[in-house]
Amino acid sequence: MPEQRHFIRKMREELGVESGKKKIQPYLYAFVGKYDKMSLELLAEGTALSMVSNASWLFVRLRSKISSTTDKKNAHFYYLSRKLKEKFPQDILFLSFDVDTLVILCKDEESKNRVQSHFHSIEEEQSV
């Protein structure tokens, strides 16, 4: 078993964490995200979609059935945002999230409609 210091140093190198950085949670999410096999459909379950008309913004709010801890919501949104960027690389210009809402800026109205219709199709599958 390696010494604890050696293990920590090796993990920091693997994750790309800067020396002395204490908050490493985003690095862990990125690391797990490389190897995660969750589908976009699974990640998007339990969300509600709203939008502002005549704008290319979408706001996706996490429904309460998803675990209520902030860390789990952050991890969930991290994976969801990553999968959305993979599925809609030409449509999404900006994507961010806070405690319970994913914010998406789409390239144009057509792009917004593509992303929005994807969420609607997931909602329809869940209601069947």
Q: pLDDT tens string for the chain (128 positions)?
A: 557 778 778 878 887 888 777 777 777 766 766 666 666 676 677 777 766 666 688 888 877 655 567 777 778 888 888 999 999 999 998 888 887 788 898 888 899 999 999 888 876 665 54
Task: Find the DSSP H helices in the chain.
Answer: 4-15, 25-35, 40-44, 70-87, 109-127
Tokens representing 107 are 């390239």
Q: How many CA atoms lie within 13 A of 23 on its CB side?
A: 2
Q: Round to whole Å and give the CA distance between 95 and 84.
A: 9
pTM, entire model: 0.54
Q: Round to whole Å and give the CA distance between 57 and 77.
A: 17
Residue with tokens 């140093």: 9
